[in-house]
Amino acid sequence: MSLSPRTSVGCRACREPGIAPEFTMAFQPILDSDSGAIYAHEALVRPVGGGSAYDVLGQITDENRYAFDQACRVKAISLAAELGMRSLLNINFLPNAVYQPAACIRATLEAAARTGFPVTQIVFEVTEDERSRDAKHLMAIFNEYKRHGMRTAIDDFGAGHSGLNLLAQFQPDIVKIDMALTREIHTDRVRRTITRSIAQMCAQLGITVIAEGIESRDEALCLRDLGIHLLQGFYFARPQLEALPPVAAGALEGLRSAFPLRTPLALGAH
Ligand SMILES: [Ca+2]
């Protein structure tokens, strides 16, 4: 990243936005496994017509990063409004594409106003890799988003090195636990111990926890035992292009049949 985020480069980024690659969004639901309701949908970048996110992300350069980041937000909000999304909308953003937090949020606010999508339903997710570069800059962005009533999330928590450091400086609304911790968690005592500690820590800080990358009923049940009921992953639904996919028939029932009338166990009970 050659651009310094807090310089007047931001003005140039707005005047000379570069050409962003063509793309669209797929959506993946995040399930509230207590109520069975959809808590949120995450918007995920895809090539038009389908394919891998990397087909698009591989075309991002320093020149088009700003335009791409802005276009992602507008696309996600427009599609969410078109599809009648009633849940939260999680948008991944690139902190290094934001130069001046107040100016760079304008297109997001305009897209929300134009489409009638409530800004209070928007959650911005940021990954550990990105944020570790400049925590102060990220906090300025997050504070600006909060000022407008949007929520913030730390993505891929537990996959990198700086999560706890950042958490000490800034508490987001949501922490998303990375699939590196949730994969096969029911067979791994160490992963369970770490994840339980994260859940306890977040509960004490008033932060909502989502577990991502859930691919099996056993993983989902184990995470519920650890006190985490917001779940995302292929077990419930694969991302679907420009659509809001339903949760797989039987997935929620699969959880309920294991523990009828179950409420999440008290943290620290295991
Ligand atoms: Ca994400």
Instruction: Identify whether the C-beta of residue 254 lies closer than 8 Å to the C-beta of residue 216.
Output: no
Per-block mean pLDDT, blocks of 10 residues, the chain (270 long): 42 60 95 93 95 91 88 96 98 80 86 97 82 73 92 88 78 94 96 96 97 96 96 97 94 78 40
Question: Which H or E run includes 177?
Answer: strand 174-177
State which residues form the domain around 76: 9-257
In a domain, 143, yes or no: yes
**Tokens describing residue 33:** 């496994």
In a domain, 269, yes or no: no
Maximum distance among all Cα pairs of the chain, rounded to whole angstroms: 58
In a domain, 54, yes or no: yes
State how many domains the chain has.
1
C-alpha of residue 42 to centroid of ligand 1, in Å: 7
C-alpha of residue 261 to centroid of ligand 1, in Å: 31
Q: Give the domain CATH number at 215.
A: 3.20.20.450
Residue 128: its pLDDT value, please?
A: 61
Residue 152: its pLDDT value, please?
A: 94
Within a 13 Å sphere around the CA of 260, how many CA atoms are in the beta-carbon half? Answer: 1
Residue 131: its pLDDT value, please?
A: 47
Residue 39: its pLDDT value, please?
A: 97
In a domain, 266, yes or no: no
In a domain, 216, yes or no: yes
In a domain, 1, yes or no: no
C-alpha of residue 260 to centroid of ligand 1, in Å: 31
In a domain, 184, yes or no: yes
Q: Tell me how far apart the alpha carbons of residues 221 and 212 are, in angstroms, rounded to a whole number.
A: 13
CA angle, 95 as apex, 94 and 100 as ends, to 5°?
A: 125
In a domain, 268, yes or no: no
Q: What are phi and psi of 121, to 5 degrees?
A: -95, 0
C-alpha of residue 46 to centroid of ligand 1, in Å: 13
Whole-model pTM?
Answer: 0.88
C-alpha of residue 175 to centroid of ligand 1, in Å: 11
